[in-house]
Amino acid sequence: MEDAEKGPQEQPESVPEVGEDAVTAVGPSPPPPAMTEEERQELQEELAKVEDEIQTLTQVLAAKEKELADIKRKLGITPLNELKQNISKTWQEVTTSTAYKRTSETLSQASLKATAAFSNMGSAISRKLEDVRNAPTFKSLEEKVETLKTKMTPSGSTSDAGSQDSGGPPATESFLTQPEDSPIPGDDDALRPV
């Protein structure tokens, strides 16, 4: 009769380990297996022992970390120096990697090709502009502009326009000496009441 009662209460002996698949851990936890008071006492003692060991190891680790920090301080190794060394080491690893070397070579070749292409394009544009300048249409236009320039420029005036004396103050000077409250001729806004 005892076997009939134990049958449905028995659980498989596999206990999920830490880190096992989350699916098995999500389900409802099975009721603790039936055990004697003596087994329960042994497990409680083992639990306390493991917890004490963890606490001791944590304290030892903290002491070792403090010792490490003291040694580094005596050697003059600061967190900033460590960071610099780590960055330097990482950069060295990156620059020596095959991927970096391939990328660098590819970019270098692309740069050379781009430089050559721009140089060729500049030469082609220069040749084109020279061809346009030597074209009969451009020469004809250039001659017409030169003729127009000659007709527009007075032949006897070689002096500077600003040095001509007309007997009164120059226009720029009269504009600059205009009082602020007097209306400017032609300014309709100045005539409106405020």
Task: Using a pLDDT cut of 90, give the percent of the chain over it.
Answer: 27
Whether 67 is in a domain gets the answer yes
Choice among 50-64, 88-102, 164-178 with the minimum mean pLDDT: 164-178
Measured CA to CA, the distance from residue 151 to residue 35 in angstroms comes to 122
pLDDT digits (tens, 9 = 90+) for 68-79: 999 998 998 888
Whether 110 is in a domain gets the answer no
Range of the domain at 89: 38-96
* CA–CA–CA angle 119, 120, 126 (5° rounding): 90
pLDDT digits (tens, 9 = 90+) for 9-55: 444 455 555 555 555 555 566 666 788 999 999 999 999 999 999 99
Whether 141 is in a domain gets the answer no
Predicted local distance difference test score (pLDDT) of residue 26: 58
Whether 46 is in a domain gets the answer yes
Whether 64 is in a domain gets the answer yes
Task: Name the domain count of the chain.
Answer: 1
Helix ranges (DSSP H) in the chain: 2-9, 22-26, 37-75, 79-95, 98-134, 136-152, 171-176
Residue 139's identity, in one-letter code, is K
pTM (2 decimals)?
A: 0.32
Measured CA to CA, the distance from residue 98 to residue 86 in angstroms comes to 20
Whether 80 is in a domain gets the answer yes
Whether 52 is in a domain gets the answer yes
Tell me the average pLDDT across 83-96. Answer: 91
